[in-house]
């Protein structure tokens, strides 16, 4: 019974047999245990030396032989502590080589990982994924109207969570009234840089590019696709940079002609649609 328990915890079959026998019989030579254990002397001696290294058997030289004594059973905890420390050391070693292994994986496995998320829950999970890496910038094409009507339980709570993680965003946004109000009045607070584009350039999807990921969300069809690929993300970043540059002229025209007071009045009505727990706390 004791042997089986020791084997499950920290000792081999031979070690548990020899340790228990030595514990019963006190200080002994290896040859004293061979008969009762029915094991060859060399095997008993090797096992005793192993137990000595583990710190649960003492070994004293007397003339031409060694005497072995089983130490207090509490010393078994030393083995577990040693194992725990070894695991910690190995974890540190693994942590150090993970970046190298990942770089090898990038070279050997260029295929992108693609995740498909369905339903409103899937859309919410896709937006949550964009917040996994703090202190970064998200590039996006978005429509405030779609966000509010399709996922009222997610927006604008998502904005507060993004700001908490110090994640900024640079966006292309069609110049609808809700978008103008939300972005012109709240861009600085929400760590957002907006480039307005003509409202007729609206497309019914949202695109987010973050780190090495590209997320495409369809509010109308209620699904999202996340492509985890550095080459694709890098390509999308170049396309966004070109789009931002092209949007500057129209963006300036919109901002030069906007009526701030009118936007503020509209925003008061817009907030009724976009109430969240976080917004209520701020009141």
List phi, psi (to 5°) of 209: -120, 120
Tens digit of pLDDT for each residue in 212-244? 999 999 998 999 999 999 999 999 999 999 999
Task: Check for a shared fold between 2-76 and 113-282.
Answer: no
Rounded Cα distance, 217 and 223, in Å: 6
3-state helix, strand, coil in the chain (%, to 5): 60, 20, 25
Q: Which long-range contacts (CB under 8 A, 24 or more apart) does 113-118 make?
A: 113/227, 113/228, 113/229, 114/225, 114/226, 114/227, 114/228, 115/225, 115/226, 115/228, 116/223, 116/224, 116/225, 117/223, 117/224, 117/225, 117/226, 118/222, 118/223
Taken in order 137, 140, 143, 149, the sign of the CA dihedral is negative
List phi, psi (to 5°) of 39: -130, 150
Token pair in block for residue 160: 């507060």
Per-residue pLDDT at 109:
53
CA distances 25 to 32, 130, 170, Å, are 10, 65, 77
Give the strand pairing for 65-70 and 137-141: unpaired
Question: Whose CA is closest to 37, among 7, 74, 3?
Answer: 3
Per-residue pLDDT at 16:
84
Q: Where are the domains of the chain?
A: 2-76, 113-282
Question: Whose CA is closest to 3, among 62, 59, 47?
Answer: 47
Give the strand pairing for 168-174 and 192-197: parallel
Rounded Cα distance, 74 and 57, in Å: 12
Which CATH number describes the domain made up of 2-76?
1.10.10.10
Which CATH number describes the domain made up of 113-282?
3.30.870.10
Tens digit of pLDDT for each residue in 47-63? 988 888 888 888 888 87
Kindly give the confidence (pLDDT) of every residue in the chain, 283 residues in length, as a single tens digit, with 9 standing for 90 and above: 667 777 676 788 888 888 888 888 888 888 888 888 888 888 888 998 888 888 888 888 887 888 888 888 877 787 778 878 888 888 888 888 888 777 766 555 567 799 999 999 999 999 999 999 888 999 999 988 788 778 888 887 888 899 999 999 999 999 988 899 989 999 999 999 999 999 888 888 999 999 999 999 999 899 999 999 999 999 999 999 999 999 999 999 999 999 999 989 988 887 765 654 443 333 3
Per-residue pLDDT at 218:
93
Report the greatest alpha carbon distance in the chain.
103
In sequence order, the β-bridge partners of residue 114 are: 227
Rounded Cα distance, 130 and 118, in Å: 16
CA 115 to chain centre: 16
| CB neighbour class for 125 (10 Å; exposed up to 12, middle 13-18, buried from 19) | middle
Per-residue pLDDT at 281:
38
Query: Are 215 and 126 contacting, i.e. CB atoms less than 8 angstroms apart?
Result: yes
């Amino acid at each position: 019974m004791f042997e089986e328990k020791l084997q499950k915890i920290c000792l081999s079959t031979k070690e548990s047999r020899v340790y228990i026998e030595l514990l019963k019989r006190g200080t002994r030579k290896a040859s004293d245990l061979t008969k009762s254990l029915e094991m060859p002397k060399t095997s008993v001696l090797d096992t005793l030396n192993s137990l000595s290294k583990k710190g649960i058997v003492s070994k004293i030289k007397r003339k031409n032989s060694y005497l072995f004594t089983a130490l207090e059973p509490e010393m078994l905890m030393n083995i577990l502590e040693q194992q725990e420390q070894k695991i910690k050391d190995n974890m540190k070693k693994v942590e150090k080589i993970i970046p190298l292994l990942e770089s090898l994986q990038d070279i050997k496995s260029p295929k992108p990982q693609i995740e498909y998320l369905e339903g409103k829950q899937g859309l919410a999970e896709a937006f949550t994924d964009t917040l996994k890496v703090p202190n970064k910038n998200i590039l996006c094409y978005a429509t405030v109207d779609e966000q509010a009507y399709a996922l009222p339980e997610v927006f604008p709570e998502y904005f507060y969570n993004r700001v908490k993680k110090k994640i900024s965003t640079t966006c292309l946004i069609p110049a609808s009234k809700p978008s103008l109000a939300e972005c012109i009045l709240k861009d600085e607070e929400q760590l957002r840089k907006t480039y307005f584009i003509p409202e007729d350039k609206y497309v019914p999807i949202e695109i987010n590019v973050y780190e090495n990921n590209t997320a495409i969300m369809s509010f109308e069809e209620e699904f999202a696709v996340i492509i985890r690929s550095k080459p694709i993300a890098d390509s999308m970043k170049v396309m966004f940079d070109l789009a931002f540059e092209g949007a500057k002229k129209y963006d300036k025209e919109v901002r030069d002609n906007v009526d701030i007071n009118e936007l503020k009045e509209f925003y008061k009505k817009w907030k009724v649609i976009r109430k969240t727990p976080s917004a209520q706390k701020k009141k």
